[in-house]
Amino acid sequence: MISFGRRKSPAIEETSLATSVMEAWRLPLSPSIRGKLISAGYTCLSSIASVSSSDLARDANITEEEAFEILKLANQSCCNGSRSLINGAKNAWDMLHEEESLPRITTSCSDLDNILGGGISCRDVTEIGGVPGIGKTQIGIQLSVNVQIPRECGGLGGKAIYIDTEGSFMVERALQIAEACVEDMEEYTGYMHKHFQANQVQMKPEDILENIFYFRVCSYTEQIALVNHLEKFISENKDVKVVIVDSITFHFRQDYDDLAQRTRVLSEMALKFMKLAKKFSLAVVLLNQVTTKFSEGSFQLALALGDSWSHSCTNRVILYWNGDERYAYIDKSPSLPSASASYTVTSRGLRNSSSSSKRVKMM
Amino acid sequence: MQNGKIKPENLLRRSPTNRKLTTGCEILDGCLRGGISCDSLTEIVAESGCGKTQLCLQLSLCTQLPISHGGLNGSSLYLHSEFPFPFRRLHQLSHTFHQSNPSIYANYNDNPCDHVFVQNVHSVDHLFDIMPRIDGFVGNSKTRFPLKLIVLDSVAALFRSEFDNTPSDLKKRSSLFFKISGKLKQLASKFDLAIVITNQVTDLVETSDGLSGLRIGNLRYLYSSGRRVVPSLGLAWANCVNSRFFISRSDGSIVKDRSEKDENCSSSVSRSAKRRLDIVFSPYLPGSSCEFMITREGICAVQA
């Protein structure tokens, strides 16, 4: 776990302290030591259990003996909860089966689903970046609708968290996409008519809107506070299967004087997203903006937030124009080959492009 | 997020459509699905003389319409960074507007110009000085027309001369883009305002890396007056707005059939250049376009 340096802006420090009281803090420690641990950024048992006593002593400004005692307590708590790091080891065969059984969230564009290995992967953090107007928000809305497709229709039957930092989420557009999704499901149900019971509950577009938890975030302080709060929120809403951040970038491109601190804040945020994805078996989708980067004597397009951010996502998808077609390219993934696919944005949402099917109205 | 509580908004409690501000022209409103969206940042890009200020003045007046007529039942704040402010044109449009909507003002003995607040902005720092006062102004307003529209005309002028072409200045400039946008979006979200920002264009200068003509949005190229142009302030600023509309100008004229009714102003009508509004990108509008012209009475679309 990356701990904060001593220089912190008051807003971030206040945020960290305020949200850390939500953690299940079970160790029997004195208040002063607990305060030191929290100030150093150690808010979870697992973060303590995975460091050495000397690191803990240095970070939290406590003695080696105190650090050793804390580690002993933390490890005991982990063992008691059957969450020992050593006991948690799995063999690769079990992991393979587990991964193959994980459902994926369809994008409603089969060409795009194909290069993604079936759709957006749960337990992963996926970054999607591109220029303005390429369709990032459309993909975000589509995923927050599609995650709710019932299991019997091949979906996850989950709910969505939509974190909007740019104000681009439009309810009318979400409703439009939801209505199209319901129509598609009804059509699908018609084909599979024999296999359904008579009392099958039909989804309505309003239900789909109700299952999107929408947060409008107007500053990076609010963004940090919300990300810190997500674990508690998802614990109380266990059906959540996708978290979409549209965009991860916007508030961090403002007047942020301390770039090193920005990197630390973003890294901690990314780590929290990874933990959420693994712990709750949900997909995290981070939308990112594009900027120009000067390297090797010329300007090139690059995703915003720089190289240190590149390591924060499991999968990276880049959206771009090729002529009059929108394309998606798998730029980084441990399990997917590099590939590209075309897609289009229609009044019904994301679909295959017109070159691979009948012409549809371009958004 | 209000009162410090972290709770999600209930999307069902929201209106199924964002409130829209009519442009005063039914055909243009049809293209924009009702008009300019509230709680959103809309940018209008055009070269000089294409009508973006005309459109903004018209929006400032239409804000005063009742909601049933596509207005916002509110007043507007016009932040202008280029001199002089076109007071004469505002009065001209206001006169027509007053005549078309007498019932709004009959019981109050006021006129449309009373509800258009004008403030000049001469630098980025000055704009940041004004922002907190806007917040106070909106929050404390007790008039019959609360503030519902903010126009910034134009954003490019604020950055024209203050910044050099050095990497550090470009970086600082870019962060100021996001800061301006962040604060305006916060106002829009907090008070459900419509915010319209105008931007200028520059001629496209082709560079070897091909980035200067980078495609953004629905149009592969932007042309106006026969030349290829790009919006000012580059890619960074394009990330700061929710929607981008592009107004272009063609050299053709619209010739109306001469008739007795049109006799008085036919000469001015026949000299109007044809304008066209394209939706470059928007989270809720398909790519489409609409042609219009500017008359004495304001902006009027041309039926294709």
Complex confidence, ipTM: 0.87
Contact in structure between B280 and B45 (CB atoms under 8 Å): yes
Say what the pLDDT of residue B303 is: 61
Would you state the pLDDT for residue B272?
Answer: 60
The more confidently predicted of residues A260 and B1 is A260
Choice between A23 and B105, residue whose per-residue pLDDT is larger: B105
Range(s) of the domain holding residue B172: 20-251+270-301
Tokens standing for residue B256: 């109306």
A22-76: which CATH architecture? Answer: Orthogonal Bundle (1.10)
Residue B282's CATH number: 3.40.50.300
CA of A211, closest CA in chain B: separation in Å?
A: 9
CB B302 within 8 A of CB B291: yes
CB contact under 8 A, B41 and A167: yes
Higher pLDDT, B124 or A103: B124
What is the per-residue pLDDT for A138?
Answer: 92
With 70 as the cut, is the pLDDT of residue A12 above it?
no
Distance from CA of A291 to the nearest CA of B (A): 7
Per domain, the residue ranges of chain A are 22-76, 94-350
Say if CB B198 and CB B154 are below 8 A apart.
yes
The confidence score (pLDDT) of residue A34 equals: 73
Task: List the single residue in B with minimal CA-CA distance to A137.
Answer: B283
Judge whether residue A150 has pLDDT over 50. Answer: yes
CA distance B281 to chain A (A): 5
Judge whether B4 lies within some domain. no
CA-CA-CA-CA dihedral for A303, A306, A310, A311, to nearest 10: -170
Asked if the structure places residue B152 within a domain, the reply is yes
Residues B82 and B154 sit within 8 Å (Cβ to Cβ) = yes
Beta bridge partners of B36: B21
Number of structural domains in chain B? 1
Mean pLDDT value across residues A186-199: 57
- The answer to whether A22-76 and A94-350 have equal CATH topology is no
The confidence score (pLDDT) of residue B251 equals: 59
In the predicted structure, residue A13 carries a pLDDT above the cut 70: no
| Residue A45 banded pLDDT, cuts 50, 70, 90 | low
Task: Note whether residue B70 is domain-resident.
Answer: yes
Mean pLDDT of A223-229: 91
Q: For residues A36 and B160, which has the higher predicted lDDT (pLDDT)? A: A36
In degrees and rounded to multiples of 5, residue A316 shows phi and psi of -135, 125
What integer best gives the mean pLDDT of chain A?
Answer: 79
- Average pLDDT of A254-283? 85
| B111 falls within a domain | yes
What's the pLDDT tens digit per position in B3-14?
455 668 777 666
Do the Cβ atoms of B208 and A172 come within 8 Å?
A: no
Beta bridge partners of B196: B42, B151
- Mean residue pLDDT across chain B: 83
The CA–CA distances, whole Å, from A304 to A69, A316, A361, B146 equal 43, 13, 31, 38
- Give the number of A-B residue pairs with CB atoms closer than 8 Å: 137
Residue B239 has pLDDT above 70, yes or no: yes
| Mutation for A interface: B178, B193, B205, most A CBs within 10 A | B178
Q: A94-350 belongs to which homologous superfamily?
A: P-loop containing nucleotide triphosphate hydrolases (3.40.50.300)
**Of A69-78, A85-94, B161-170, B217-226, where does the model show the most confidence?**
B217-226
Contact: B283, A213; criterion CB under 8 Å: no
Inter-chain touch B17–A172, beta carbons under 8 Å: yes
d(CA A242, CA A145): 10
Cα angle A157, A218, A142 (rounded to 5 degrees) comes to: 30
